[in-house]
Chain A
Amino acid sequence: MVKAGRRRLSRQERLAYLILLPALGTVFAIVTIPFILVIQQSLSSDDGTLIGLRNYARALGNPQLYDALHATGVYTLIVLPIEIVLGLTFALLVHRTVRRPGLRAAIYVLAILPLVVPPVAIGVVARLIYAPSYGVLNVILERLGLIHQEINWLGNPTLAMISVASVDIWQWTPFVYLVMFSGLQTVPRESVEAAQIDGVTWWTQFRYIELFYLRPLFILILFFRLADVLRVFDHIFILTGGGPGTTTQLLSLYLYRIEFKFFDTGQAAALAVVVLVSISIIYTVIARFLPLERA
């Protein structure tokens, strides 16, 4: 009996490998071939001769790279804290005040909708709002008597950064809300009720009870939002194209420009390798703290 059982087990394993090998092999090849190619590209000149690390020297010596990193950093520092604070605030607010299941479900559906709107389409909406001479935001502000002169939202470096960031905040705050709200549902009711009998304040209840259950979710949000911020491209491309000047040219837009506007494949490939290596390091650091069910 034991023997038969063991044999069936190994047969299952063999079947598993038989199915997995071609599937994983294909995917692995599709992922790995570009990696090898990009390293080769980064070490070659345009005619294909190997030139060592010269592309890397050019890539890292280009002052525009640091402008792009700076813009990415500023964007991240605007977007992430605001999204987390707003998303968490709304989650707490709805969790504490909205009791009716129907209303909660309605808010849920409304909150998932922004997540699936194509960023290109949101870029279009943002254009209609911020564009000079046609943007509706200036029209509204003028009618309310708040401004008397048109504000050039996309032409001023600071305002342009705020404008592109606002689009990100519009699209992704609901994601933070949804994650935090469902996290709040896992807080055991007994501990909250016990605390309420003790008469704790709103803040204490959050700080000492609920926050404990939300902690892993902060890491989760940080992980996914960071992955997305590093690949932000679409709505900025549509809204400002990286301008004015290069003030909203985030890392993705910068790489795009080097490769597809200046056709400098060597430098772009070197940058891509640097980006891939840095991101794997960030990934390795964060991933181990993720509350995922891997087994």
Chain B
Amino acid sequence: MRRHRKPINLPRIGIAVVALGAAGLLYAFPLYWLVVTSLKSKGELFASSVHLLPHNPTLAAYSSVLIDRGFLVLLKNSVIVCLSTVVVTLVLGLLITYPITRLQVPVSLRVNILTWALSLRFLPPIAVVIPYFAIVRTLQIYDQPIALIGIYSLFNLPFAIWMLKGFLAEIPLELEEAAMVDGANRWTAFWQVLLPLAAPGVMAAGIIVFTFAWSEFLFALILTATPNSQTFPVGVQGLVTQFEIIWNDMAAAGVIAMALPLILMVIGRNYIVAGLTFGVIRDK
């Protein structure tokens, strides 16, 4: 029997098309305008009339930002800081979630650790950075990437713990037990059985931590001073708050800043909502 089909509700579909179209325009236009502005030449910036369509597009602003202004170094700093943050966060996250999901521990321990991790999510960075700034100066790591890596790892740990806990809990205990019955020790069972199975989840957690660290601005603004450790968002900020804004350079820097997270998110798309909601929203 054919499934009963509801009659098509034309007015409702009309509303949906208009609403989704309007939303699409509100999201697409700002991004379009960012890209168009980044493709303008210096001369066009001072033209009396603004063209809404690209007019003699050029990549001059990109080379101006990356080469002339030396932002390539900031990109390199960002990559180093973000990758290190991912490694530290995932190692700490696995060290904390492995025992509470794979070993028999009291339920209260599990609940307490997860609740504590959740409370860190509510920690306001500006309140933490005031004492952390003093600590960083005392340890003489001001303007060094390690100062950022430490605090980024701390602030991303709650996401990592909750995501990893979700992924590890889904893998049957029997698989490791079988390996251990066959003579593997716990480390081998973890490294050769559990980790390969959990790899997609661990990767997803890594991608999300990377994009958060990539976007971070407040700590980077406060804890860095020179291109020795400044990350890309700090450079972008420098272009915006200077006396005379060079619009095409600023727009090009904006495009570069958002390119990597957008690409990564297309890869990690199935996990981002689970990550942001601490696993409450599971399905895609």
User: Which B-chain residue is minimally distant from A273 (CB atoms)?
Assistant: B127
What B residues does A119 contact at CB under 8 A? 215, 217
Whether B105 is near chain A, meaning CB under 8 Å from some CB there, is yes
A230 close to B124 (CB less than 8 A): yes
CA distance A230 to B125 in the complex (A): 10
Q: Do most interface residues of chain A lie in helix, strand or loop, or is the interface mixed?
A: helix
Closest chain-A Cβ to B282's Cβ sits at a distance in Å of 8
A108 close to B269 (CB less than 8 A): yes
Decide yes or no: A279 and B122 within 8 Å by CB, A13-B103, A34-B132, A255-B127 being known contacts. yes
What B residues does A69 contact at CB under 8 A? none
Which of A19, A105, A265 makes the CB contact (< 8 A) with B95? A19
CA distance A183 to B280 in the complex (A): 10
Closest chain-B Cβ to A50's Cβ sits at a distance in Å of 16
A15 close to B262 (CB less than 8 A): no
Which of B23, B125, B253, B276 makes the CB contact (< 8 A) with A224? B276
Which of A98, A123, A196, A269 makes the CB contact (< 8 A) with B16? A98
Which of A13, A16, A35, A233 makes the CB contact (< 8 A) with B131? A35
Which of the segments B31-39, B56-64, B140-148 contacts the partner chain?
Answer: B31-39
Which of B19, B115, B186, B283 makes the CB contact (< 8 A) with A15? B186
Whether B55 is near chain A, meaning CB under 8 Å from some CB there, is no
A118 close to B266 (CB less than 8 A): no
B100 close to A118 (CB less than 8 A): no
CA distance A279 to B217 in the complex (A): 22
A125 close to B99 (CB less than 8 A): no
B131 close to A38 (CB less than 8 A): yes
User: Which A-chain residue is minimally distant from B240 (CB atoms)?
Assistant: A238
Q: Do most interface residues of chain B lie in helix, strand or loop, or is the interface mixed?
A: helix
B126 close to A256 (CB less than 8 A): yes
What A residues does B113 contact at CB under 8 A? 20, 24
A114 close to B27 (CB less than 8 A): yes
CA distance A260 to B134 in the complex (A): 12
What A residues does B218 contact at CB under 8 A? 233-234, 252, 256
What B residues does A26 contact at CB under 8 A? 92
A34 close to B254 (CB less than 8 A): no
Which chain A residues numbered 116 to 138 have a C-beta less than 8 Å away from chain B? 116-121, 123-129, 131, 134, 136
A116 close to B261 (CB less than 8 A): yes
What B residues does A252 contact at CB under 8 A? 124-126, 218
Please list 9 pairs of residues, one from A and one from B, whose beta carbons are closer than 8 Å in the complex, sorted by A's number.
A24-B96, A27-B154, A37-B134, A115-B272, A116-B261, A116-B262, A183-B281, A259-B130, A283-B119
Report which A residues bind B (CB closer than 8 A).
9, 12-13, 15-17, 19-20, 22-24, 26-27, 30-31, 33-35, 37-38, 41, 89-90, 93-94, 96-98, 105, 107-110, 112-121, 123-129, 131, 134, 136, 139-140, 170, 175, 178-179, 182-183, 185, 196, 217, 220, 224, 227, 230-231, 233-234, 237-238, 241, 251-252, 255-256, 259-260, 265, 268-269, 271-273, 275-276, 279-280, 282-283, 287, 290-295
